[in-house]
Structure 1
Amino acid sequence: MTELTASLSALADPTRREIIAHLANGEATVSQLVDQFDLTQPTISSHLKVLEGAGLIIRTRVAQTRPCRLNPAGLKTISDWLKDYERFWQGTLDHFAEHAERHPPKQKGTTDDR
């Protein structure tokens, strides 16, 4: 499985996307994530294992805790892939804006609807 495939597969789960969003605010321990998501410790640990395996987070050991933080390199893989499609999105938005300018919506109550 490629890095990109593993990352996208990991992010397919909404709970894992929420964990990533939470970690964007700073590192958190497993216990903090358990409290945040109201899930069991084994469930959170399972999600973290998938995210770590995909390279999206880094887990360290500090005494008895295992703090997690985002891995910028793992997120860059996804960002780089999405940038390849930015031209398409931007072009589509530009075409939409041009179309909207050429064809403004009709106002209700006008008599142009003959």
Structure 2
Amino acid sequence: MIYFYARTPASSSLSLSKTVIYTHVEVNDGQGYSSTNGRFTVSVPGLYAFTVQYCLNSGDQALLEIVDQKKTLQRAAFGDRGNNDPCVSMHVFTKDDVSDQMWVQTSWTAQSVI
């Protein structure tokens, strides 16, 4: 079975046009996820499901994408104008071959200055 679960500490921030790197890897069966570059590399061809959740600090905004081989599969824009600490979730299914890569990236971000 190929399965990974990774998360990032609440204190991390997003940078514009960068891969989101989930640094705390809880499970990495199949060793497909790299916490160094934030990419999942397929080792067994098949149908894959990816779920992403990201929460922002109050006043922040972002546009995140789930990317497969440089093709955007899912995009979500979200933000907060109050003190709500919003979260967004995305879910995709994709059929991939050996060595294909998937990752989450920012397309736009605006973080508040405190």
What interval of TM-score do these two structures reach, taking the shorter chain for normalisation?
A: under 0.3
Report which of the two has the higher share of strand.
2
**TM-score normalised according to structure 1 size:** 0.22
Report which of the two has the higher share of helix.
1
**TM-score normalised according to structure 2 size:** 0.22
